[in-house]
Structure 1
């Protein structure tokens, strides 16, 4: 091979590499999801069996936490665009979530559990849009699906490792369920701290992301400023997420069918293993064939999975549908975020990505409240509703034109 050909080959290979910032943010999410899933998998059990609250209160706590966070997804995106800085808000968001996990060990009344869930989810809301903007700005558009796929894959690896570590911790702790779970929440603070340290030391934002105009020149975000195509997409996303209630109800379903605390963690790790194995390659596939077909397939699979979980007659059948749930996550989570970025105005990138995350979060309050009420009446009913809304959303998405990118 000639020197010129070798040089061209090296240039192509280099162009296919993701930046160190994207990789570092992947590790940040890996550590934070370890922390989150160690705690989150046991919060429904903690609320219902230790604090004694009904499923409707679980729905209230999860719905309020996610929906309160949704406002900050847009606000933090706006503030990030206004200041031209992504990292400070990202650090604050991850730091808030890292602090909330170990404090759950002190809770004796459910309103304090709600407060800590609010702090945790507000942290997620604050960090999400500027973090996704960091990923987008550090990545060529042709590699955007790969970048979000890698980020989602590492996030999911954390979601696998977290429950597995939780199993080891629960096995090592002696005492009643309350004592075991409180010690587990304390341990969940360790990977959260590692996430914040990784972010501080290894993530660097592009200097040219600073605004060219004075900070006051950026107007407040308005729904009307989004493109008509993006607004249609967000309406479909909202409709889908009205049936995509908190995973806490999936964990309650597993508990009701007979899974123990360790069994619930193992089940949650299982579906995350499936997602982790598929995320990155599905992100690459989205770059090649377009993102919309993958999101549609994910919505349809979601409908099948929710029907299966809602009607599962045994632990084995439930486990099979949890495996399929991992495939749904792989088809949609990273790909759908990249799809939203494709619709966004590059001059208001974090704000418009924040609009997507806000819409997702706003749907979660009514979704979780409805799910909580239906679950208390008949546990399978919220899953039937979710399947119907997912099917309708998939149909609407087939009629939505793609943006002028690889969508």
Structure 2
């Protein structure tokens, strides 16, 4: 077990929590639009619903990350955050009114905002710079395993009970409860309180101004990419538009997640060997290849190959990106740094999906995916050469 010494008790617990939470969430992700439409919701309101929910998550991540740093506590934020997300699942099926569904989705996203910065800081506290990529990669692979099991569970249910959406929201509550119970087994290391006052909720991204130049340069490049990294729903929509039946489109989503699970952990190892910068740049090039490729894809095998490559891209960037960003700040600021990065990325993603939808409507999918591919290649070139200065407080890797 010496080879896996970085997989501490806390890393395992947090990874299992993410697995069960994603299982619950992904049971509902592929059926949510169909469910909302079945109870009379318009496509416009569904867009408003998701927009408000993502804005709440984005704004709260940096804010609660700072609270976690100030108190030197991580576990309470993790426990309450996962608890809110678990409770929100059955609430979605209680009433079919717009205000109630909006409230339930907001509670779910507020839970995500509460836990994200503190959870990632806990993972960072459990490892060293030499193993950070492996830890984040392992955590993300477990998280995405839940994203594979969730849609499979939903497909099994709907195959036996066609059109019965509401019971799924109740079933999704069970893995959510398991995740919350696991959080109470966490025993966090004693973190040093930052002592900094927490800025108001509406100014929760103020950390950006006090961050190092290296942090701002790297995260700035990543945010430009986030502005063209639209929702995966557009990839699925394109496959459906090109003639693939709904069952095969769901199969592509599962194939993407399976590839992600298989790739995340080994690519985390590769990040520690080659450096986060190199793997991040390689992942962005893969993203550009996928987005450029789907614009011209029509056959099922073409979409299958591109969705597999998309899974490798995701594994090469998300956990690795957090690992890289966590080395660009002082240890006492990890929660705020990661929370601010995650929050700004969420807001950028909201803008990306809105812009992609408008571009698709005005100029078609070729323009939507082609522009995203071109911008991503530019970001990859920028990050390959961006100047990163080592902080004296810590040893940075892959800078």
Q: What TM-score, normalized by structure 2, do the two folds share?
A: 0.89
Following superposition, the deviation at residue 259 of structure 1 comes to: 5.0
User: Corresponding residue for 1:6?
Assistant: none
Counterparts of 2:99 and 2:223 in 1: how far apart (Å)?
Answer: 28
Q: Is residue 2:397 matched to residue 1:406?
A: yes
User: Corresponding residue for 1:352?
Assistant: 337
Counterparts of 2:372 and 2:48 in 1: how far apart (Å)?
Answer: 18
Q: Indicate conservation of the 8 Å contact 2:67/2:198, yes or no.
A: no
User: Corresponding residue for 1:140?
Assistant: 128
Following superposition, the deviation at residue 37 of structure 1 comes to: 1.1
Q: 1:172 aligns with which of 156, 160, 166?
A: 160
Q: Which moved more, 1:280-289 or 1:105-114?
A: 105-114
Q: 2:219 aligns with which of 234, 254, 258?
A: 234
Q: How does 1:15-34 map to 2 (within 5 A)?
A: 16-34=5-23
Counterparts of 1:304 and 1:107 in 2: how far apart (Å)?
Answer: 43
Q: Which moved more, 1:128-137 or 1:37-46?
A: 37-46
User: Corresponding residue for 2:151?
Assistant: 163
* Per-residue deviation, residues 306-349 of structure 1 (Å, max 9, x unmatched): 22334432444322221111011111011011011011211211
Following superposition, the deviation at residue 285 of structure 1 comes to: 1.0
Q: Which moved more, 1:393-402 or 1:88-97?
A: 393-402
> For 1:364, what is the secondary structure of its paired residue?
helix
User: Corresponding residue for 1:205?
Assistant: 188
RMSD (CA atoms): 2.3
Q: Is residue 2:56 matched to residue 1:68?
A: yes
Q: Is residue 2:141 matched to residue 1:153?
A: yes
Residues 341 and 104 of structure 1: is their aligned pair in 2 closer, same or farther, counting only changes over 3 Å? same
Q: Indicate conservation of the 8 Å contact 1:258/1:315, yes or no.
A: no
Q: Is residue 2:84 matched to residue 1:101?
A: no
Q: Indicate conservation of the 8 Å contact 1:298/1:328, yes or no.
A: yes
Q: Is residue 2:227 matched to residue 1:245?
A: no
* Per-residue deviation, residues 139-184 of structure 1 (Å, max 9, x unmatched): 122111111011011011111111111111111114xx3xx22222
Structure 2 unmatched ranges of 5 or more: 200-205, 391-395
Following superposition, the deviation at residue 77 of structure 1 comes to: 0.6
Residues 281 and 243 of structure 1: is their aligned pair in 2 closer, same or farther, counting only changes over 3 Å? same
Counterparts of 1:51 and 1:312 in 2: how far apart (Å)?
Answer: 34
Following superposition, the deviation at residue 251 of structure 1 comes to: 3.2
Counterparts of 1:368 and 1:392 in 2: how far apart (Å)?
Answer: 20
Following superposition, the deviation at residue 260 of structure 1 comes to: 5.2
Counterparts of 2:105 and 2:372 in 1: how far apart (Å)?
Answer: 24
Following superposition, the deviation at residue 52 of structure 1 comes to: 5.2
User: Corresponding residue for 1:382?
Assistant: 368
> For 1:102, what is the secondary structure of its paired residue?
helix
Residues 372 and 91 of structure 1: is their aligned pair in 2 closer, same or farther, counting only changes over 3 Å? same
User: Corresponding residue for 1:7?
Assistant: none
Structure 1 unmatched ranges of 5 or more: 1-9
Q: Indicate conservation of the 8 Å contact 2:85/2:111, yes or no.
A: yes
Counterparts of 1:311 and 1:222 in 2: how far apart (Å)?
Answer: 42
